[in-house]
Amino acid sequence: MSLLLHPAWPLLLGATLAFRALRRALGRLPLPAHVRADPLRTWRWHNLLVSFAHSIVSGIWALLCLWQTPEMLVEIETAWSLSGYLLACFSTGYFLHDTVDIVVSGQSGASWEYIVHHIMAMGAFFSGIFWSRFVGGGVLTLLVEISNIFLTIRMMMKLSNTQDHLLYHVNKYINLVMYFVFRLAPQAYLTKFFLQYAGQRTLGTFLLAILLMVDIMIIIYFSRLLRSDFCPERVPRRQHKDKFLTE
């Protein structure tokens, strides 16, 4: 079957347009005063709302996929399910939408790390979407979205200047636990699995390269998170102004 005629394209297009419609609908919701006063913060707030919705749906969906098809935990390359396949299409649609939203809004410079991450994620998910391989690996990577729920809450509270609220302080500890359980642990597990492809010339080797780059990004993000929430005195003053874009 020609790649251009693959039946996954309508699914990807439909998912992308659905997130665009969601973006427009959420854009009509009232904004916090601190956000409403700044166009950049307004854009970022709407962008985070869509991300929040994606994290809730895809995170819970990934857990359900693993519950329904537990072999995905061990047969990372060959395990397949329709639900997992649709989840990969759904999340790829989000990454496509968010990349376009960032570029069209003129925020590529401030949010370049997100664009790089999205490109790598889409490159990895395409293996499951177009070649039906490593769907289990894709589902496992989407466990990170459980962590992203609390990370997005954190960023939205910083964006609305409510980081002194009790909820922020409670969330930062929950966020730390979720980071370990749903981000660091699955990433370490997948890295260990994909190391078997090192030195080969296979799709698994390509995915290993992506995974190692994501590993580096995760470690950098984790160090930022610790500095910002638990050692704020070590964060340079010049980073405080609009660092919500990356922290």
Dump pLDDT digits (tens) for 6-23: 899 999 999 999 999 999
pLDDT tens sequence across 91-128: 999 999 999 999 999 999 989 999 999 999 999 999 99
Rounded to 5 degrees, what angle do the CA atoms 35, 38, 41 make?
Answer: 55
Kindly indicate the confidence band of residue 3, based on its pLDDT and cuts at 50, 70 and 90.
confident
Enumerate the domain spans of the chain. 7-245
φ, ψ of residue 214 in degrees (nearest 5): -65, -35
Lowest mean pLDDT among 50-54, 121-125, 240-244: 240-244
Instruction: Report whether 53 contacts 94 (CB < 8 A).
Output: no
φ, ψ of residue 240 in degrees (nearest 5): -75, -30
How confident is the model at residue 238, as a pLDDT?
Answer: 52
- Give percent of the chain with pLDDT exceeding 70: 93
How confident is the model at residue 240, as a pLDDT?
Answer: 45
Residue among 117, 143, 140, 118 nearest 59 (CA): 143
Measure the CA–CA gap between 232 and 227, rounded to whole angstroms. Answer: 6
Neighbour-count burial for 29-57, b at 16+ CB within 10 Å, e otherwise: eeebeebeeeebbbbbbbbbbbbbbbbee
**Model pTM?**
0.93
Residue among 43, 56, 34 nearest 163 (CA): 34
How confident is the model at residue 236, as a pLDDT?
Answer: 62
